[in-house]
Amino acid sequence: MLTPADNELLVRTGPGTPMGTLFRRFWAPVALASEVGPPDSPPVEIRVLGEDFVAFRDTNGAIGLLDAYCPHRRASLFWGRNEQCGLRCVYHGWKFDVSGQCTDLPNAPEGATLKNKVRTGSYPVLERGGLLWAYFGPADKQPPFPEADLFAVPADRRYVTKIITEANYAQVQEGDIDSSHVAFLHRRFDTTAVGGGRVDPNTFSDTQPRWFPSETPYGLMLAAQRNAPTDAEWHWRVNQFLMPYVVIIATPAGVPVLSQIRVPIDDHHSLHFRHWSLVDRAFDERDFAMFDDGVTVPQMIPGTFHMKEDITNRYDIDRTEQAKRTYTGIRSFVAQDLAVTANQGGYGTIADRSREYLTSSDRAIITWRKRIITSAKALAAGVEPPEPMNAAAYNVRSGDFRASRDITIEQAAKERLLPATA
């Protein structure tokens, strides 16, 4: 369990908080790239880490990310006109380019000269892997973009979705890290298939995995060991935690790799990007069939980033289905996860980790909490996190495989989890 003070440090990510300051040292995914549309499309509202921004693509195709409120009278730039290489506030016509520089100040006689002195907050933004990534930290601390080839694949080798989640980021990210829940929460009684039959059935046979977490230059390697059908092998499921937003879910070879990305919107909501990628082939019909089944990818309310299954309809739980076919009676994997993670101690509240009763099955969670809390405290004491500058270290894979009991997980990981390009 955590102390109340450490729990408070973990969950608060707004401006000036220790965890929020740590998160701002890393590139953060903030939107689907498709949301900004073609040049001169309407601006897009973005809220992350307790702050409001607008994103837009200018006439020349450059992407800008600005503070949401015009520095003149604090009107929202979301209502603005995206025109002729700038975003113009509709209140008094002040216009800003992608760098935040005011290029037109038409409502005052001194505007022609004053405009050169006026700026609004602007932030570096990159388009990678179908996502927009932004950096909100000090300019002199800006890191290179992580060299993860999972986020460098072309469009035909990726599939990306966005969900707005009504839960603190830490609760839902801990669900991604915890491999032991898969054998229960996502179990079916009519078949062992999960993810289109792309999870080793042994995951459901051994419900008591042993954890072997290890510190890495990019975050954590979280290896769960299970017994295999033969005494000569172990079954390993290895998640990779890439500081501070990404968990690459254990995936067998040849299957689209799922990266679960969690970014705080504020302390009670988070962005959930689900990024599937393949580095060696394009997606095929079988892959897309998995995304269309309503189980792997939840059904969404049209025109929104909100799921049809939510707490207001109790995630459409079907008690007959629960009794006969599935462990939960809830259809999609995401809804299954949210039913238990978004409601830890009461819906709309933040989990009180000082009241938990942890066991050895929670070792990965304990390790993750220690790593991220220690990093936030160190930065508050003036020690910069090393991970942002270790861009090359981020190029790793997750894994779901069987290996001889004669080799360590470190040896197995070196053989199987380094990218083919390494």
Tens of pLDDT along 335-383?
Answer: 999 999 998 888 888 999 999 999 999 999 999 999 999 999 999 999 9
Contact (CB, 8 A) for 368 and 220:
yes
For residue 128, what are the β-bridge partners? 131
Residues 196-209 pLDDT 10s: 556 777 888 889 99
Residue 301 lies in a domain: yes
- Average of per-residue pLDDT across 117-128: 97
Q: H or E element: which one contains 321?
A: helix 319-324
Q: Which of 109, 134, 159 is the last residue of a domain?
A: 134
**Domain co-membership, 86 together with 53:** yes
pLDDT reading at 422 higher than 50: no
**Domain co-membership, 180 together with 91:** no
Q: H or E element: which one contains 45?
A: strand 44-48
Q: What is the percent of the chain where pLDDT is above 90?
A: 84
For the chain, the domain total comes to 2
**Domain co-membership, 364 together with 301:** yes
**Domain co-membership, 172 together with 297:** yes
Helix (H, G, I), strand (E, B) or coil at 356: coil
Residues 235-276 pLDDT 10s: 999 999 999 999 999 988 888 999 999 999 999 999 999 999
In angstroms, the CA 42 to CA 35 distance is 10
Q: Which of 134, 164, 180 is the last residue of a domain?
A: 134
**Domain co-membership, 193 together with 77:** no
**Domain co-membership, 168 together with 306:** yes
Residue 52 lies in a domain: yes
The predicted pLDDT at position 191 comes to 65
In angstroms, the CA 313 to CA 327 distance is 18
Q: Which residue has the tokens 């689907």?
A: 32
Residue 23 lies in a domain: no
The predicted pLDDT at position 80 comes to 98
Residue 2 lies in a domain: no
The predicted pLDDT at position 421 comes to 38
The predicted pLDDT at position 237 comes to 94
The better pLDDT of the pair 182, 57 is held by 57
**Domain co-membership, 119 together with 231:** no
Contact (CB, 8 A) for 237 and 228:
no
Residues 395-421 pLDDT 10s: 999 999 999 999 999 999 888 886 643
The predicted pLDDT at position 416 comes to 82
pTM of the model: 0.94
In angstroms, the CA 1 to CA 165 distance is 24
**Domain co-membership, 171 together with 88:** no
**Domain co-membership, 297 together with 212:** yes
Residue 157 domain boundaries: 149-416
- Average of per-residue pLDDT across 157-178: 96
- Average of per-residue pLDDT across 165-172: 96
Give how far the C-alpha of residue 387 lies from the chain's centroid of Cα atoms, to the nearest Å.
17
Question: What value does the CA radius of gyration of the chain take, rounded to a whole number of Å?
Answer: 23
* Domain CATH for 39: 2.102.10.10
Residues 42-85 pLDDT 10s: 999 999 999 999 999 999 999 999 999 999 999 999 999 999 99
The predicted pLDDT at position 300 comes to 96
- Burial of 343: CB neighbours in 10 Å, binned 0-12, 13-18, 19+: middle
Q: Which of 99, 134, 169 is the last residue of a domain?
A: 134
Residue 399 lies in a domain: yes
**Domain co-membership, 381 together with 243:** yes
Helix (H, G, I), strand (E, B) or coil at 340: helix
**Domain co-membership, 216 together with 357:** yes
Residue 226 lies in a domain: yes
**Domain co-membership, 160 together with 130:** no
Residue 6 lies in a domain: no
Residue 139 lies in a domain: no
Q: Is 185 left (phi over 0), alpha (psi -120 to 50) or beta?
A: alpha
* Domain CATH for 269: 3.90.380
Q: Which residue has the tokens 């042994």?
A: 202
